[in-house]
């Protein structure tokens, strides 16, 4: 049992390592130190990861012992992988920078995709972005298009773009 648990932690460590280490450049050194202290307080079993047992222990230390499993699972699902310190910083970085969840961005694009094709004509999206609400400049739209998958007909794959906007890089196969 111990070796299976060790292999599970090893695999979790590899997945957590894939989280962007650029997140450190988003914070000042004093902020990183404060986040490290918070992480250490939450990592009750000192294994380098915040897991369900750690969350239960934190709640218990605050006097709340009747936390539902579903609530704990929902908290853990907010991370895209195991919660090591880098992932912890990524999660705070996303919250502090105001990045919308991938589903929110997808739903916004879907409102513009009346055919449900998963793509929107790039000229149409350009017109909207430079003329509506929080207007973008032509340069900002061009920059967005650099990270977009656009087919020969000029249609932008908004699912792939939503992924890039929230995860920072294209998923394999796009």
SS3 50: strand
Whole-number pLDDT of residue 123 = 94
Whole-number pLDDT of residue 47 = 95
* Segment holding 13, helix H or strand E: helix 2-17
Q: Which parts of the chain have pLDDT scores under 70?
A: 1-22, 97-100, 169-174
Max Cα distance, the chain (Å): 60
Average pLDDT, the chain: 81
- Residue 117, Cβ density class (10 Å: 0-12 exposed, 13-18 middle, ≥19 buried): exposed
Whole-number pLDDT of residue 158 = 92
Whole-number pLDDT of residue 65 = 87
Whole-number pLDDT of residue 18 = 43
Whole-number pLDDT of residue 83 = 94
Whole-number pLDDT of residue 27 = 79
User: CB 169: neighbour CB atoms within 10 A?
Assistant: 11
Whole-number pLDDT of residue 16 = 44
The verdict on pTM exceeding 0.85 is no
Whole-number pLDDT of residue 119 = 94
């Amino acid at each position: 049992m111990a070796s299976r648990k060790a292999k599970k932690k090893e695999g979790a460590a590899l997945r957590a390592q894939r989280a962007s280490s650029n997140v450190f450049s988003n914070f000042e050194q004093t902020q990183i130190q404060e986040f490290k202290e918070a992480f250490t307080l939450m990592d009750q079993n000192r294994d380098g990861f915040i897991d369900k047992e750690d969350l239960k222990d934190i709640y218990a230390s605050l006097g709340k012992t009747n936390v539902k499993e579903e609530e704990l699972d929902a908290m853990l699902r907010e991370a895209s992988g195991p919660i090591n310190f880098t992932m912890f910083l990524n999660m705070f970085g996303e919250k502090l920078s105001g990045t919308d969840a991938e589903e929110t961005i997808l739903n916004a694009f879907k409102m513009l995709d009346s055919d449900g094709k998963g793509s929107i004509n790039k000229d149409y999206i350009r017109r909207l972005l430079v003329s509506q609400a929080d207007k973008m400049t032509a340069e900002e739209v061009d920059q967005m298009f650099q990270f977009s998958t656009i087919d020969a007909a000029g249609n932008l794959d908004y699912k792939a773009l939503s992924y890039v906007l929230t995860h920072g890089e294209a998923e394999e196969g796009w």
